A and B are shown apart, each in its own frame.
Chain A
Amino acid sequence: MSTGEIKRVIIVGAGQAGGETAQRLRQGGFAGDITMIGEEPCAPYQRPPLSKAYLKGDLSMERLLLRPSSVYAEEKVSFLSPLRAVWIDRANRKVRVEGGRELPYDALVLATGARPRKLPLVGADLEGVHLFRTAADVDRIRERFKPDAKLVVVGAGFIGLEVAAVARQCGLSVTVIETAVRPLARVTSPEVAGFFLDEHTRQGVRFVLGGQPAVIKGQERVTGVALADGMEIEADLVIAGIGVTPETTLAQQCGLSVEDGIITDARCRTSDPAIFAIGDCARRPMTHYDGRVCRLESVHNAVEGAKIAAAAILEQQQPVEAPWFWSDQYDLKLQIAGLFQGYDHVVFRGVMADRAFAAFYYMGDRLIAVDAVNRPGEYLGAKMLIQTGRTVAPDVIEDMSRPMKEIVAQAR
């Protein structure tokens, strides 16, 4: 398919991945039609601050927007929202939207994101029980997010713990229920998870680890959460942060390969070469991890997918960056480079007691990931190492007398 043939691009989804795709296409010189279809009633915005500054009330919706709403018209991006795409006709290359209108495409980018999982419990629909995904979710939460309110967070992943941190800073009483025996089990090692557990405990968060929520109590409004072992926790507000399900309905209906995410190649192309999938909804081979196929939920992955898909549509090259993530909790900035899954040992640089340290994860001799807490140099240095396929011996990493910059410069 040559660039000349692609005159009409449709982007389904107007989160960060969708918005970035439109921008990258225009910046890359694409002069054809771009249509972006979004279900939320606003322009693409940043999700990470939702569980941080926006929840706290420190950031307005206007500042949350990635770019002003007016930019899309200026750049001749036809932005249709709130509107839902309901069907993809692959044979005729059309997207049908609610109301029946059909929009033709030459290239289609699916940036449909993910749906937060609902608590599979009686009482999950009570007033005061919330999911956490959109600005609208947070606006509703904020109505009751007041000092001394009793908050129960279900799920001790990044969202749950970031919400817990903000809640403590705002004077709420906070209990976190997690079915696993430790927090952050999916995203970091037991050691680093333990550090965050201690910090939250010190900040006054109560944890129920290995807890099985059984029923959400209340008449109209939530009043508490009952656990399977009979324990009951009072609650004015319940927030579920128990993960997401990739939004793959459209892709499945039209027969694309889907397996916990829409399967793509390294250039974000699905099993239909005219259709790309990016962001939370997609799985692609990871360049820096021997082509292991991963579905990542992160800003980096959203932006990266947008760059890759736009470049593929424009028939340009796009270098791929190693994955990165971050989480802010209290005064702790956790920055993660790489993918730690499959590590066989971890080496620490610095000590946890200083609230500034980094965990370096190895698979054999190879450095595969780093969690840096208040250690941005270690994070960026490690990211460069992973990016370029270099590694550093553990004894060198542990030696704090050697600056990270020097270690990176000498690494092979």
Chain B
Amino acid sequence: MPKITYIEHSGKEHVIEAPNGQTVMEAAVKHAVPGIDADCGGACACATCHVYVDPQWLDKTGEASSMEQSMLDFANDVEDNSRLSCQIKISDALDGLVVRLPKSQH
């Protein structure tokens, strides 16, 4: 199974193995990674699963949809590599993906 590394704002790392088809948000929530709230469960309705994709993975994670981009416009501390993790689907191509978490989701 692909491995995803989540780095909390404090620097603490969580390496999680997750099955293909799950989202980067779901894998984090199911393993209680602090810093990804994802209150809506992945419906792209709450913007509380904001992550920064490690720049070298940006090609593989693809671009945010217009709906996702509109949500991100209102998230805190948005950067060029900001994504909503509920919109990134895990696949073999993302094995080794590194995402960093913002200071706060609200």
Partners in one complex: yes
| Residues of A participating in the B interface, judged by any CB pair closer than 8 Å | 23, 27, 46, 48-49, 63, 65-68, 71, 75, 299-300, 303, 319, 321, 324, 326, 328, 333, 335, 374-377, 380-381, 384, 404-405, 408
Cβ-defined contact, B32 with A333, below 8 A:
no
Cβ-defined contact, B22 with A303, below 8 A:
no
> Complex: how many Å from CA A139 to CA B92?
31
Stretch at the interface among B4-12, B36-44, B55-63, B93-101: B36-44
Pull 8 A–B residue pairs with CB atoms less than 8 Å apart, ordered by A.
Answer: A48-B43, A67-B32, A68-B30, A71-B32, A303-B39, A376-B67, A377-B74, A380-B71
Taking CB atoms, residues of chain B closer than 8 Å to A377 are: 70-71, 73-74
Cβ-defined contact, A376 with B32, below 8 A:
no
State whether the Cβ of B1 lies closer than 8 Å to any Cβ in chain A: no
Taking CB atoms, residues of chain A closer than 8 Å to B43 are: 48-49, 326, 328, 333
Taking CB atoms, residues of chain B closer than 8 Å to A71 are: 30-32
State whether the Cβ of B29 lies closer than 8 Å to any Cβ in chain A: yes
State whether the Cβ of B49 lies closer than 8 Å to any Cβ in chain A: no
Cβ-defined contact, B34 with A63, below 8 A:
no
State whether the Cβ of B46 lies closer than 8 Å to any Cβ in chain A: yes
**In the complex, which of the residues A326, A380, A384, A404 has the most CB atoms of chain B within 10 Å of its own CB atom?**
A380
Q: Which 10 A-B pairs have the closest CB atoms?
A: A380-B74, A377-B70, A326-B45, A376-B70, A46-B41, A376-B71, A303-B39, A67-B30, A405-B73, A376-B67
> Complex: how many Å from CA A62 to CA B97?
23
> Complex: how many Å from CA A377 to CA B67?
8
Cβ-defined contact, B74 with A384, below 8 A:
yes
Cβ-defined contact, A48 with B41, below 8 A:
yes
Taking CB atoms, residues of chain B closer than 8 Å to A48 are: 40-41, 43
Interface residues of B in 50-89 (CB under 8 A from A): 67, 70-71, 73-74
Taking CB atoms, residues of chain A closer than 8 Å to B31 are: 67, 71
| Residues of B participating in the A interface, judged by any CB pair closer than 8 Å | 22, 26, 29-32, 34, 39-41, 43-47, 67, 70-71, 73-74, 106
> Complex: how many Å from CA A75 to CA B39?
20
Taking CB atoms, residues of chain B closer than 8 Å to A376 are: 44, 47, 67, 70-71
A299 contact from B26, B41, B67, B70, Cβ within 8 A: B41
Cβ-defined contact, B32 with A23, below 8 A:
yes
Instruction: Using known A-B contacts A63-B26, A71-B32, A376-B67, determine if residue A381 contacts B74 with beta carbons closer than 8 Å.
Output: yes
Taking CB atoms, residues of chain A closer than 8 Å to B34 are: 27
Taking CB atoms, residues of chain B closer than 8 Å to A46 are: 41
Taking CB atoms, residues of chain B closer than 8 Å to A299 are: 39-41
With A46-B41, A376-B47 given, name 11 new contacts (CB 8 A): A48-B40, A48-B41, A66-B41, A67-B30, A299-B41, A326-B43, A335-B45, A376-B71, A377-B73, A377-B74, A405-B73
> Complex: how many Å from CA A303 to CA B48?
13
Taking CB atoms, residues of chain B closer than 8 Å to A303 are: 39
Taking CB atoms, residues of chain A closer than 8 Å to B70 are: 375-377, 380
B32 vs chain A, min Cβ distance (A): 6
Taking CB atoms, residues of chain B closer than 8 Å to A324 are: 45-46
Taking CB atoms, residues of chain B closer than 8 Å to A408 are: 74
Smallest CB-CB separation from A403: which chain B residue?
B73
Taking CB atoms, residues of chain B closer than 8 Å to A49 are: 41, 43
> Complex: how many Å from CA A49 to CA B44?
13
Taking CB atoms, residues of chain A closer than 8 Å to B22 are: 63
Cβ-defined contact, A374 with B67, below 8 A:
yes
Instruction: Using known A-B contacts A324-B46, A326-B45, determine if residue A333 contacts B39 with beta carbons closer than 8 Å.
Output: no
Smallest CB-CB separation from B21: which chain A residue?
A63
Cβ-defined contact, B67 with A300, below 8 A:
no
Cβ-defined contact, A405 with B32, below 8 A:
no
> Complex: how many Å from CA A83 to CA B36?
31
A284 vs chain B, min Cβ distance (A): 18
Cβ-defined contact, A321 with B74, below 8 A:
no
B106 contact from A67, A321, A335, Cβ within 8 A: A321
B11 vs chain A, min Cβ distance (A): 18
A286 vs chain B, min Cβ distance (A): 18
B100 vs chain A, min Cβ distance (A): 19
Taking CB atoms, residues of chain B closer than 8 Å to A380 are: 47, 70-71, 73-74
